[in-house]
Amino acid sequence: MSVYRKKMKLYIYYMLVFTLLFVLVSKEVQAAPSVSAQRAILMDGETGRVLFEKDAHSTSRIASITKIMTAVLAIESGKMDEKVTVSPNAEGTEGSSLYLKAGEKIKLEDLVYGLMLRSGNDSAVAIAEAVGGSLEGFVHLMNQKAAEIGMKNSHFSNPHGLDDHEDHYSTAYDMALLTKYAMENEHYKKISGTKVHTAPNPEEKWDRKWKNKNRMVTELYKHSTGGKTGYTKRAKRTLVSTASKDGENLIAVTLNAPDDWNDHIGMFEYGFEQFDYKTVLEDGIIKKFDDEFYKGRIYVKRDVIMSLKDEEDQLVRIEYKMIKPQQEWRNKEKIPDVVGKAVIYLDDKEVDSLPVFFKSEKEPQEEKSWWKFWAYSFEAFLGVSQHG
């Protein structure tokens, strides 16, 4: 009997160990999200780090997520309060529509709301003509802005994303870059995350009321902060989403995704669970530096914050590339402001860099004049002068 019990205890022990290992391995395997999308990416909205990707650099048709670029250019034009006269060309645009009428005047800001919330193709053309002077002029601005942002595998041929040109395409990565740039603009951020917008309609007795088509914003995901939907027969379903939780900001993009809502929710949950913001270098004096000349005198002007998994802390390395102190630096006025740079590596891959500044000591005479200034100001405040 005792032998039997020992065998049973041993059996139970091995089963518990096996079960625990299975759970741990399964959790690790399931940590990365599974997506229906042909191409997808999850990007940290602050640092730009890619947290998950699936064929994110291959070009695809992008449909109406094109309108993120159109909205950005409209907002940056400085004309949001101006009235736009709708052209016959805009009125006749096919596909999703705000049902604008040729000759009517509508505020550019309202056109951008209609563009982002209802995906109005007529609105896209009206915006393009108002901001770029013509469709061709606006397309030039779109590609110019794409190059400025760093969208290396993108080309725009229209302001709405319809399949009317063969050379209109982007990638999941480039669209995430564009969204990261767009979300730095408070006006865009507000419009993108709006659930319902009301716009005056002088032609009718009622105002226009547009509900956002993006179900991530309106009903599906409580942490959603905005985004843009898209669909054409050739591009299939495309979606850009942004979400924020506990100060962490994420961007998700899917191209040709049959189950895009769940794709985005799954990616966001993965990002929020697996990654946290961590400060790897604080602004101010660099304390961990042993060089006799530089010690206590060099500093950086911003924090370096990274989105990291818990186990990645030990993979972060900072390398300081400094100018060798020169003979003429004995004269402190000869020391340059920037004396090097701090390069941040994650697992030996460079992820950030920033200039290192030299802190010059204040001359006593300067400090004296500083205090004289405040002493004089204080006396003036009290109504005291040198002549009493």
Domain boundary pick from 274, 298, 322: 274
- The pLDDT score that the predictor gives to residue 367 is 44
Whether 40 and 252 have beta carbons less than 8 Å apart is answered as yes
369 found inside a domain:
no
Residues 255 and 132 in one domain: yes
340 found inside a domain:
yes
201 found inside a domain:
yes
- Which of 60, 64, 157, 307 does the annotation list as catalytic? 64
- Which of 67, 180, 228, 236 does the annotation list as catalytic? 67
Domain count of the chain? 2
Residues 200 and 68 in one domain: yes
- The pLDDT score that the predictor gives to residue 365 is 42
- The pLDDT score that the predictor gives to residue 19 is 55
5 found inside a domain:
no
- Which of 54, 60, 96, 119 does the annotation list as catalytic? 119
- The pLDDT score that the predictor gives to residue 14 is 54
Please state, for a pLDDT cut of 70, what percent of the chain lies above it.
85
- The pTM score is 0.82
Domain carrying residue 326: 278-358
Residues 74 and 162 in one domain: yes
pLDDT tens track for 328-385: 998 988 999 999 999 999 999 999 999 999 997 654 444 444 444 444 344 444 443 3
25 found inside a domain:
no
Residues 47 and 132 in one domain: yes
Is residue 60 flagged as an active site residue?
no
27 found inside a domain:
no
pLDDT tens track for 32-68: 899 999 999 999 999 999 999 999 999 999 999 999 9
Residues 106 and 82 in one domain: yes
Residues 249 and 284 in one domain: no
CATH of the domain at 234: 3.40.710.10
Domain boundary pick from 226, 256, 274: 274
242 found inside a domain:
yes
Residues 238 and 299 in one domain: no
The encoded tokens of residue 194 equal: 């709006």
Residues 236 and 337 in one domain: no
- The pLDDT score that the predictor gives to residue 15 is 62
Residues 144 and 173 in one domain: yes
285 found inside a domain:
yes
Residues 73 and 190 in one domain: yes
Is residue 353 flagged as an active site residue?
no
Residues 181 and 326 in one domain: no
Is residue 119 flagged as an active site residue?
yes
Residues 161 and 113 in one domain: yes
pLDDT in tens, the chain (388 residues): 555 566 566 656 556 655 555 444 444 444 689 999 999 999 999 999 999 999 999 999 999 999 999 999 999 999 999 999 999 999 989 999 999 999 999 999 999 999 999 999 999 999 999 999 999 999 999 999 999 999 999 999 999 999 999 999 999 999 999 999 999 999 999 999 999 999 988 777 789 999 999 999 999 999 999 999 999 999 999 999 999 999 999 999 999 999 999 999 999 999 999 999 999 999 999 988 888 899 999 999 999 999 999 889 899 999 999 999 999 998 988 999 999 999 999 999 999 999 999 997 654 444 444 444 444 344 444 443 333 3
CATH of the domain at 347: 2.30.140.30
Domain boundary pick from 221, 248, 274: 274
